[in-house]
Amino acid sequence: SMRFKKEAFDGKREEAVYFSKRVNECASPDSIFHRESKTNQLDYEVELVVIIGKDCKNIPKEQAKEVIFGYTIGNDISARDLQAKHKQWYAGKSLEGAFPMGPYIILRDSLDTSNLAIKSYVNGELRQNSNTSKMIFGIDSVIAELSSYFTLKAGSIISMGTPSGVGMGFNPPRFLQSGDIVTCEIEGIGSIRTRIV
């Protein structure tokens, strides 16, 4: 969402933007998401997910990779109207089951994340089509900055943001409806699928 937009901001952004998302329960890689009546603007975001492998604080960029356990795919399902209503993103990002992940955790040394195709589809239609090489802020920079503020605990999840092509970016917007199937895929990891009901 914030750190994956060389397609936007003319490829520039002074500072990364961070937000929290409630993930007490992670939906499976082949999941069903129950739409809440509280939102009419449900959106999708394919994201590369970084899983921290050990507690760490004040990690320099050069050592950031050492604290990574592995990588997976996430769909940062978002209620845009709730984000706008509350003037911050927590509620709109934290609906029940709103972060399906999977299908596997690829161990740190088994995947070079610098140049991976990243895509999403809605009902088979390609919506997002980009590459991790276009991230404005690299994984090492994000880990270094976040760990300078607080301890990153083992098992922490950092989702690296999404490329252009989300529903709210269309004119008119193309939000998710009941019956839609969202597929998110990242080269070298696989794909996950979520059905909206």
- Output the pLDDT for position 46: 97
Q: Does the residue 82 lie in any domain?
A: yes
Distance (Å, whole) CA 91 – CA 80? 10
Q: Is residue 20 part of a domain?
A: no
Structure tokens at 187: 């080269």
**pLDDT for the residue numbered 89:** 74
pLDDT digits (tens, 9 = 90+) for 97-111: 899 999 999 999 999
**Is the per-residue pLDDT at 27 higher than 70?**
no
Q: Which residue has the tokens 């991790």?
A: 132
- Helices (DSSP H) in the chain: which residue ranges? 80-86, 90-93, 139-149
Please give the pLDDT value at position 9. 45
The model's pTM? 0.91
- Domain holding 52: CATH number? 3.90.850.10
Domain membership of residue 99 (yes or no) is: yes
Name the pLDDT band for 28 (thresholds 50, 70, 90): confident
β-bridge pairing 68-75 and 101-107: antiparallel
Domain assignment present for residue 116? The answer is yes
Domain limits for position 113: 30-164+176-196
User: What's the domain count of the chain?
Assistant: 1
What is the percent of the chain with per-residue pLDDT over 70, rounded to a whole number?
91
In a domain, 17, yes or no: no
Cα–Cα distance for residue pair 92/39, rounded to 1 Å: 9
Q: What is the pLDDT of residue 177?
A: 96
Taking only the tens place, the pLDDT of each residue in 34-48 is 987 789 999 999 999
Nearest to 54 by CA among 159, 149, 142, 147: 147
In a domain, 54, yes or no: yes
- The answer to whether residue 49 sits within a structural domain is yes
Predicted local distance difference test score (pLDDT) of residue 142: 96
pLDDT at 13: 64
**How much is the pLDDT for 21?**
83
Asked if residue 18 is part of any domain, the answer here is no
76, burial (CB in 10 Å: exposed 0-12, middle 13-18, buried 19+):
buried
pLDDT band at residue 3, thresholds of 50, 70 and 90? low
